[in-house]
A = this chain, B = another copy of it.
């Protein structure tokens, strides 16, 4: 049900992130190894931060593996903060407005997983979205609603707290409707300067999530890898599944936790929904 990649560091050509790794996101669009679905061909999206204040978002309903415009862009766009997402629909229509990442001002959001029995709980959840944010929702996914709940609860000021409250609400509403395990998720959000990645599920068996070992170690493991040439020591990747199978390069994000990638020391902390 989707795979994603988030990058924060010195500017890198999108091609190096998206196409060059052996088990790249583009390869995963055809053959994911750890995903709930092997094929992630129901559209894709990328977001990146450039000179304008608002990040660019390019989304398409085509499978990532055969989209020529994605390849063209990837060969020409460099950025220091990049989100990329490939979609396997869990039922909602394949349309650009259902493709990730979602955007609000400078903030991007993407999600792998689902709100279980979404049609049962959607109305109650949507009612909790701040009325001023309500008209911004353009698609019909659980992921976009979750984003707007987090925005409602202060995502722009304190992401971990806002996500904890949004997830808490989803669990509360789910339980009220008799949904056994209301949520399954890995989520990434960024403002272009910091990156937060969450791994959580009501059932306690969350979708896979990995973060890259620090760059100096990575370089030692990947001599000559074009993706690593010239990137900063602070650069970090967070991914649904490893982009290659080098020993030591990838670390699993523990169950029920979240990481913060930021200037200075990154953090890895426990995540608990808050009702």
Contact = CB atoms under 8 A, between A and B. Distances in A.
Chain A interface bracket (under 10, 10 to 19, 20 to 34, 35 or more): 35 or more
A75 B52 contact: yes
A85 interface: no
B93 A73 contact: no
B93 A76 contact: no
Interface stretch (A61-69, A106-114, A227-235, A261-269): A61-69
A140 B97 contact: yes
A246 interface: no
A50 interface: yes
Contacts of A69: 58-60, 69
Interface string A3-15: 0000000000000
A177 to B, nearest CB: 11
28 contacts: A30-B39, A31-B38, A31-B39, A39-B41, A41-B41, A41-B65, A41-B66, A42-B63, A50-B76, A51-B78, A52-B76, A54-B75, A56-B76, A57-B72, A58-B73, A59-B68, A59-B69, A62-B94, A66-B94, A69-B69, A73-B73, A76-B77, A77-B77, A93-B138, A123-B134, A127-B127, A138-B140, A140-B140
Contacts of A59: 68-69
A131 interface: yes
Interface string A76-102: 111000000000010011111100000
B72 A58 contact: yes
Interface of A: 30-31, 38-39, 41-42, 48, 50-52, 54, 56-63, 65-66, 68-69, 72-73, 75-78, 89, 92-97, 119-120, 122-123, 126-127, 131, 134-135, 137-140
Nearest to A55: B76
A131 B59 CA distance: 31
Contacts of A126: 126
Contacts of A135: 119-120, 122-123
Contacts of A41: 39, 41, 63, 65-66
Nearest to A74: B56
A78 B51 CA distance: 10
A56 B75 contact: yes
B96 A93 contact: yes
A260 B234 CA distance: 48
